[in-house]
Amino acid sequence: MNPHGQAAIVTGGASGLGAATARALVAAGARVAILDVNAELSEATATAMGARAFPCDVSDAASAAHALALAREAHGPARILVNCAGIGGASRIVGREGPMPLERFERTIRVNLIGTFNMMRLVAAELSTLPPLGDDERGVIVSTTSVAAFEGQIGQAAYAASKGGIASLTLPAARELAQFGIRVLAIAPGLFQTPLLGELPAETQAALAKAIPFPKRLGKPDEFARLVMHMVDNLSLNGEVVRLDGALRLGPR
């Protein structure tokens, strides 16, 4: 799909991978709406790149539906959805203070996995009613999983489970939505220069980068965005989870 002139939704687009993706879509001529729980930051980010921002909690059905309605009013129905919204955090199943609070596990699953599915179901429902474009394509959905989905480390049980759910969701969603000409894909990033990693000391970041076979550095958000743009463009890419990790394989710790 050529994104020029098409409406696009980027969740978690206020910063990091989402902001880089929104910027790439704007540069390609898409009408971009950033949906993010951080209203102030997303407004500033959107204004700087020529996009629109709408507050949204992806894990809440009403909030997501309202934000999509506002985006539709501004740009028309979206043909492109990129799910970048998510949270991290490390916690052991059994730590020094006892078992992990169930609420902590539940929140990670709710934001990362349920939030991704929530946006997917809402956007796909509208996409299915739109007239097809060339090659009978109606739209494309790209979600963000993680290499932790496959090699979750100690302390990542909640995060790995949520990202593993997104990876497992991709193929059945692609198979189901194929009847409407909707493609579904996911990217599994490794270690990237995001606000979360940016909070770590420089020496810690350097140590993490040394674990990557090649290139021996943290991934750049623009590299993630370029893969999203290729997925949007390449009609034969469907139902696939693509690792973007420099051949990194995480150890237990």
Give me the DSSP letters along 144-165: E--GGGTSPPTT-HHHHHHHHH
Identify the active-site residue in 159, 169, 219, 232: 159
What is the rounded CA–CA span in Å between residue 214 and residue 203? 19
DSSP-derived letter for residue 96 is T
224 is annotated as an active-site residue: no
CA dist., res. 187 & res. 193, Å (int):
16
Give residues with Cβ within 8 angstroms of 158, minimum separation 6.
89, 91, 100, 104, 105, 108, 109
**What are the phi and psi torsion angles at 59 (to 5°)?**
-85, -5
Residues forming beta bridges with residue 57, ordered by sequence position: none
Angle at 128 between CA 122 and CA 134, to 5 degrees: 130
> Which residues are known to be catalytic?
159
